[in-house]
Amino acid sequence: MTNNNNAKTLTPDICVIGAGSGGLSVAAAAAAFGVDVVLIEKGKMGGDCLNYGCVPSKAIIAAGKAAATFRSSEKFGVGAHEPEIDFSRVNDHVHDVIATIAPHDSVERFEGLGVNVIQGAGEFVSADTVKVGEQLIKARRYVVATGSSAAVPPIPGIENTPYLTNENLFELTERPEHLIIIGAGPIGMEMAQAHRRLGSRVTVIEALRPLAVTDPDHAAQVIRKMEAEGVEILANTKVNAVERTDNGVKVSIKVDDEAEGTVEGTHLLIAAGRAPNVTSLGLEAAGIEFTRKVSRQMMACAQPTVRFMRLVMSQVVRSSPMLQVHMHLWSSVPSCSGCQSTTTASPCLQ
Ligand SMILES: Cc1cc2nc3c(=O)[nH]c(=O)nc-3n(C[C@H](O)[C@H](O)[C@H](O)COP(=O)(O)OP(=O)(O)OC[C@H]3O[C@@H](n4cnc5c(N)ncnc54)[C@H](O)[C@@H]3O)c2cc1C
C-alpha cells in the first residue's frame, strides 16, 4: 500500500466499498493483477450472500427438501412419514454452513491475497476522498459495492409491528407457527416453501402476480406445487395495514380491490423488494448523482472529479467447500443520471 506524505492517508489504485459478493470479487481480481486495493466493510465480510442471503436461504431450503423427502418417499416404495423437525438444529445447520464458507470471504484470506481490509463504514467526504473512522483514503478509482437491504413498504402500523427481513429471519431458533410473508418474489416464495416444508403454516400475500418476473408458465408450475404442499398464496392482494397482536401479527388485506379481510399469524416476513444501500455513503459530498431504485443493469459513469463505478455484476459463480452458489448480484448501488447502460464497467477503470 502506498502512503502519501500524510501518514493517515492511503492512496491505493482501487478502493472498494463493501465486501459482499461484488466487492470481494473485484478486490480479489484486482489484487491478483498486483493492483493496490483497499477494501472497506462495515458489517460482516461476505455481505448479504454469505450471511443473510444465498447461503442461509439455500441451507434452510436444503433442510426443507430433506423434510419433504420423508413425506414423499412412498413412490419409491419407502414408507413415507411425517419427519420430526427440531427447528433449533435446523438453525444450527444453517449457521454451520455459513461458518464453513466464511473463511473463504474472511479478512485473513483477503489480506493474504494482498488486499488492505479496513473494517468500518466508508463515506465520501469529498469528490476524491473516502473516510473510515479517522482513516482517509484517496484512491485513483472507487468501486461502490454496498449492496441492498430489504425495502420495507410504508404500511400503516408497520412501525409498531414486529417483523422479520432476510437480516434476522435466519436467527429464528423456534419454528414460526404461522409465517405471513408480504411479497411473492423469489425470496418470499423460496422462504415460504422452505418454512412450509419445515412444518410452519405459511401465507404469502402479493399485491400483483406471484413470481411476476418469472416466465408465467414456469411460475404457474411453481405456484401449483407450492399450493399442493400447503402454502397459501393470496395474489392480487394489497396489504392495508398491519398490527401487533397478543399472538403475533394481524394483516388487513384487500383482495382484487374489493373484498377486505384479515390474516393473523405468529410472524411476519417482509420480502417486498430491495432498496439500495446509499444512505451515509456521502454520495452528495462526492457530487455523485444517484437514485434509490434497484436496477439490474450494469452501469458505469465518469463524474468530473470522481470516476465512479456502479458495480452490478450480472453473474458470478463462486465455489465453496459446501456450496456452489450462482450469485446473481441484484446489486443496488447508486446509479448516476446521464450514465450509459453498458455491459462492461471498463470505462470506470481506465
Ligand atoms: C434471502 C436472499 C436469498 C438470496 N439468494 C440468492 C441466490 O440463491 N442466488 C443468487 O445469485 N443471489 C441470491 N441473493 C442475492 C445476493 O445475496 C445478492 O445479489 C448479493 O449479496 C449482492 O452482493 P453485493 O456485493 O452487491 O452486496 P452485498 O452482499 O449486500 O454486500 C454489500 C456490503 O457492503 C457493505 N456496506 C454497505 N455500506 C457500506 C459502507 N458505507 N461502508 C462499508 N461497507 C458498506 C455491507 O455491510 C455489505 O456487507 C439472495 C438474497 C437474499 C436477500
pLDDT digits (tens, 9 = 90+) for 193-243: 999 999 999 999 999 999 999 999 999 999 999 999 999 999 999 999 999
Looking at the structure, do residues 16 and 116 belong to the same domain, yes or no?
A: yes
Residues 241 and 216 in one domain: yes
Domain contains 3: no
Confidence of residue 103 (pLDDT cuts 50, 70, 90): very high
pLDDT tens digits for 130-169? 999 999 999 999 999 999 999 999 999 999 999 999 999 9
Cα Rg of the chain (Å, integer): 22
Would residue 18 count as lying in a domain?
yes
Q: Residue 317's pLDDT is what?
A: 25
Q: Ligand 1, from 146, 296, 299: best to mutate by most atoms within 8 Å of Cβ?
A: 146
Q: Whose CA is nearest to atom 23 of ligand 1?
A: 21
- Report CA(312)–ligand 1 centroid distance (Å): 11
What is the pLDDT, as a whole number, of residue 295? 53
Tell me what pLDDT residue 308 has.
34
Kindly report the protein residue whose alpha carbon is nearest to atom 19 of ligand 1. Answer: 329
One domain, residues 290 and 260:
no
Residue of 15, 16, 48 best suited for mutating to test ligand 1, as the one with most atoms within 8 Å of CB: 48
Same domain flag for 84 and 143: yes
Residue of 39, 49, 327 to test ligand 1 pocket, by largest number of atoms within 8 Å of CB: 49
The pLDDT > 70 percentage for the chain reads 82
DSSP class of 3: B
How far apart (Å, rounded) are the C-alpha atoms in residues 236 and 228? Answer: 20
Section 241-257 average pLDDT = 96
At residue 48, does pLDDT exceed 60? yes
CA 181 to centroid of ligand 1, rounded, Å: 21
| Domain membership of residue 21 as a residue range | 10-150+274-350
**Are 68 and 168 in the same domain?**
no
Q: How far is the CA of 102 from the centre of ligand 1 (A)?
A: 14
Q: 48 alpha carbon to ligand 1 midpoint, in Å?
A: 4
216 within domain boundaries = yes
Mutate to test the pocket of ligand 1, among 24, 41, 50, 54 (most ligand atoms within 8 A of CB): 54
- In this predicted structure, the answer to whether residue 276 has a pLDDT above a threshold of 80 is yes
133 lies in a domain?
yes
Residue 129 and residue 33 in one domain: yes
C-alpha cell at 188: 418470499
Is pLDDT of 335 > 60? no
117 and 66 both lie in a single domain: yes
For residue 251, being part of any structural domain is answered with: yes
Work out which ligand 1 atom sits closest to the CA atom of 315: 11
Do 231 and 163 lie in one domain? The reply is yes
183 alpha carbon, distance to own chain's centre: 15
Helix (H/G/I), strand (E/B), else coil: 303: coil
Residues 296 and 331 in one domain: yes
Task: Looking at the structure, tell me whether residues 306 and 264 fall in a common domain.
Answer: no
- Averaged pLDDT of the chain: 85
- Whole-number Å distance, alpha carbon 166 to ligand 1 midpoint, is 11
User: Bigger pLDDT: 189 or 346?
Assistant: 189
| Average of per-residue pLDDT across 254-265 | 92
Question: What values do phi and psi take at 3, rounded to 5?
Answer: -105, 145
**Within a domain: residue 4?**
no
Domain boundary among 255, 272, 289: 272
Q: How many domains does the chain have?
A: 2
pLDDT digits (tens, 9 = 90+) for 287-304: 988 887 765 443 333 332
Regarding whether 228 and 334 lie in a shared domain, the answer is no
The whole-number pLDDT of residue 257 equals 82
198 touches 67 (CB < 8 A): yes
Give 166-179 pLDDT, tens digit per residue.
999 999 999 999 99
Q: For residue 192, is it within any domain?
A: yes
Question: Which of 253, 272, 291 lies at the terminal end of a domain, its last residue?
Answer: 272
Nearest CA to ligand 1 atom 6: 54
Which CATH number belongs to the domain containing residue 26 in this structure?
3.50.50.60
Q: What is the pLDDT of residue 259?
A: 87
- Whether 73 is in a domain gets the answer yes
d(CA 104, CA 46) in angstroms, rounded, equals 9
Listed residues 231, 255, 272: the one ending a domain: 272
Per-position DSSP letters for 289-343, written without gaps between them: ---SS---S-EEEE-SS-EEEE---S-EEEE-SS-EEEE---------TTPEE-S
Pocket of ligand 1 (CB under 6 A): 17-23, 40-43, 47-49, 52-54, 57-58, 121-122, 145-148, 166, 187, 277, 280-281, 325-331
Q: Are residues 262 and 177 in the same domain?
A: yes
- Shortest-distance atom of ligand 1 to CA 44: 49
CB 97 within 8 A of CB 318: no
In ligand 1, which atom is closest to the CA atom of 18? 34
φ, ψ for residue 105, nearest 5 deg: -105, 10
DSSP β-ladder status, 135-137 and 129-132: antiparallel
Q: Which three cell numbers stand for residue 121?
A: 463504514
